[in-house]
Structure 1
């Protein structure tokens, strides 16, 4: 596949560019459906109605009923409507954790389905439809537990969105452009969060917010997905060689290239020097792979365990620092927007140096960069100037970890062959969701403890990356056998 893209079809021409942009729009949807909880589950401001309510009080706990009211009305958020205050405040964290639990389950399920029968495009279509349906249904929740259940289901579909979109967007890209393209997907995620801030500003009722934030999913399903192609790599490993060749011819034509009739795709573990197009048939048995296959092979098992741990640590820091930003006391809409915009320079810088420094050293140093500033934040005490310095440490921590988070998708993708790539990525994404589940629990500890935990996770994650191989300028293998044969020529899997 890589050879055909390089020699005949073009590695990143107009076809790949347009396909990449349209597919990556799904990342914006994941950002919207993930971070909508910041606005929907916020605790609104309140005002005193009688002299029995002290206007200097920061919480409604202990105030007499009828002596105060919510400034934006009782229906402004789930906290005010469902009474998630004082002794019930833990329920806010519970519903957010269950959303990420749904993401963890969905990442594994759709990771497997996109590797098997549904394919990349089929899985992406289903999760986008479910996002729209569950998002709208959330607005009609009659009580807290109904709301929690639907958010769990929404997390199930959201967990597979970015995963399926990432693989579908990057697999048709040639080797020399794949890293930059993969690193660029997170711009759409951040743009989705910034878009969410604008949506939440105009739709400040939590019910109307959920409906408005689901409209982009409906538009993507109707206006974008019908025009996307399936991944030719998936078609190839599933034995659909004719379909894969049809897509490759379309790529070549759109890019102004010419694909000769005698050139045929073959898997990287096949000897095809004497094969003719007639021998490549639909009936040929397609190689199958699952998470069990990843675990059986020592090479991929070792990589998977490391990828899971690294993604877990990265997620704890990334989501933890993002959620910790709500304690800054600034305008919520502006704060979320600035956090999203602040991540973009990290994506740009890592994309520019990715193919120069390599995946491995870049992952190590971005994690350590974040960990060091988190450690500095944990040591900062007091208020005033120190409070500002601690905020800067948090911003720099997010900057470093945002670059790592983006890089890990590219790195993890290149560590595993096509036949099990989504299953392995799904497992790594599940680990990320576990970190996301833990992050809110770390944030509520307060003081310098969250920064200290984030520092340990960042530094430990960087140390684990040391044991992964470099994948820069290495081909994307299609099968387990093809990768095992190539890696056997190296002196050590740790090199």
Structure 2
């Protein structure tokens, strides 16, 4: 089997050395220099917006305190909401008692919108629209739908707009992650990629402060949507398109100009006589490279290819199981003795150590062993939680088991984003991530229904999911220190 470097440097033209993206980043541009740092931070700020639009439901849809207990047994005029009727959607439209299911329905349909958006925006980002423009379109629509949600005249219009917000929110997340990670060299990609999720958790923590200031749900939706408009105006113009997308679309001149800019910003010099080539084209003549046209593919090609088909279905199963446990444990553990705003803040900050630990270990042990390890770590503590009662000292044991279960699955949750992106070539990377995101959202939809089972059963289900997920991970290849392939042919040549 030829090495990645050998594939990148073969050329029939002695005057022009054709090299692939990984080699150019490593040897000439820098794998993670000043340019990549700036680009990564600016792009990853979009994850703060994703957190705003996702987690705003925690504050907007919670049931506020009332002047009486057991309100379902009282006449509507005999009590009132503390903070006023307009405080949340629950008090606004009386989503209590027999109508309480509508709160869960609105949340589930948000994730349903995310499932649809994952496929649509994943395809757009891989095809003619590109990563940057897809991010811009999704972010613009997200901001518009977020603000319109604040004007909802009734519950069903509110739900419809939340579906639209979920649809576009996934487009922001997918495009931002791929755009941020593709210009980074393979030796830095894992550690830097894990830092993406600090922005998401930081966004949740920041949202708790915004929600504390704007304690009326309509104002909160406006306040949490305005940053999306600011991102479009103040940040998006300073982002660059992915050089890998330029390359697979046959726009080699633009890719080379961007690589030259990266090298210059990093204090490097891109030598004359080198040119970028796809991993399937290194041994072909450089002449006419611009005229080869775009290399495009779709999710259908992923399924047709035996190698990527196994990877896709396995990654989808892992993402489904991970999100089911992650969101399920988050809903199932309600032991912090403080108000809602403090609860959300502590949960967001509490996840961050998992990112650091995973980032350190993944570069030492690899993606595959760590995926198995984090899922089984979570499973062990979920199993422990299922074996104890919920009274006395055992209540504390169950609480600690749940927190440690979340800790392990939070590491898996973020690791899978990096792992999945590395499993597929550039021509279908966003589309594949879109499918795995759709699977993860199915897990998020199912999680509340598992939680309502009560007792030990949720912990037993979550433990089983962690065990099965760890077994599934054995069917994936290791991607540590492996290049990001451009095309199916390049990937197959490396595997041959």
> With structure 2 as the length reference, what TM-score do the two structures score?
0.94
Deviates more, 1:240-249 or 1:441-450: 441-450
RMSD (Å) for aligned C-alpha atoms: 1.2
Structure 2 match to 1:463: 471
2: CA distance between counterparts of 1:217 and 1:385?
Answer: 46
Structure 1 match to 2:401: 393
Out of 131, 135, 139, the position equivalent to 2:150 is 139
Deviations along 1:244-282, whole A, 9 cap, x unmatched? 11110110010000001211000000134652xx5332x
Structure 1 match to 2:360: 352
Give the Å deviation of 1:329.
5.7
Out of 395, 413, 437, the position equivalent to 1:405 is 413
Q: Does 1:9 align with 2:17?
A: no
Give the Å deviation of 1:379.
2.0
Residue-pair matches, total? 476
Structure 2 match to 1:82: 93
2: CA distance between counterparts of 1:429 and 1:235?
Answer: 24
2: CA distance between counterparts of 1:444 and 1:327?
Answer: 16
Q: Does 1:167 align with 2:187?
A: no
2: CA distance between counterparts of 1:416 and 1:284?
Answer: 22
Give the Å deviation of 1:398.
1.0
Structure 1 match to 2:453: 445
Give the Å deviation of 1:335.
0.9
Deviations along 1:80-137, whole A, 9 cap, x unmatched? 1111100111111111000000011111110000000110001111111111111100
Deviations along 1:187-206, whole A, 9 cap, x unmatched? 10100100111111111111
1: CA distance between counterparts of 2:289 and 2:485?
Answer: 19
Q: Does 1:195 align with 2:203?
A: no
1: CA distance between counterparts of 2:321 and 2:244?
Answer: 31
1: CA distance between counterparts of 2:397 and 2:162?
Answer: 36
Give the Å deviation of 1:433.
0.7
Structure 2 match to 1:222: 233
Give the Å deviation of 1:447.
2.1
SS for the counterpart of 2:132 is helix
Deviations along 1:121-174, whole A, 9 cap, x unmatched? 011111111111111000000000000000000000111211111100000000
Out of 259, 277, 282, the position equivalent to 1:266 is 277
1: CA distance between counterparts of 2:122 and 2:492?
Answer: 22
Out of 324, 327, 341, the position equivalent to 1:319 is 327
Are the equivalent residues in 2 in contact too, given 1:325–1:335 (CA < 8 A)? no
Structure 1 match to 2:58: 38
Structure 2 match to 1:383: 391
1: CA distance between counterparts of 2:134 and 2:231?
Answer: 14
Deviates more, 1:169-178 or 1:328-337: 328-337
Structure 1 match to 2:216: 205
2: CA distance between counterparts of 1:289 and 1:243?
Answer: 21
Moved over 4 A (4+): 326-329
Structure 2 match to 1:21: 41
Out of 340, 349, 359, the position equivalent to 1:341 is 349
Are the equivalent residues in 2 in contact too, given 1:100–1:155 (CA < 8 A)? yes
Structure 2 match to 1:251: 262
Structure 2: segments with no counterpart, 5+ residues: 1-20
Are the equivalent residues in 1 in contact too, given 2:390–2:398 (CA < 8 A)? no
SS for the counterpart of 2:80 is strand
Are the equivalent residues in 1 in contact too, given 2:52–2:207 (CA < 8 A)? yes
Structure 2 match to 1:426: 434
2: CA distance between counterparts of 1:273 and 1:136?
Answer: 52
SS for the counterpart of 1:264 is strand
Out of 382, 407, 411, the position equivalent to 1:374 is 382
Give the Å deviation of 1:409.
0.8
Are the equivalent residues in 2 in contact too, given 1:102–1:152 (CA < 8 A)? yes
Alignment of 1:56-135 (within 5 A): 57=69, 59-135=70-146
> With structure 1 as the length reference, what TM-score do the two structures score?
0.94
Give the Å deviation of 1:328.
5.3
Structure 1: segments with no counterpart, 5+ residues: 49-56, 489-495
Deviations along 1:27-47, whole A, 9 cap, x unmatched? 111111111111100011111
Alignment of 1:473-492 (within 5 A): 473-488=481-496
Deviations along 1:286-308, whole A, 9 cap, x unmatched? 11110010011111101111000
Are the equivalent residues in 2 in contact too, given 1:266–1:272 (CA < 8 A)? no
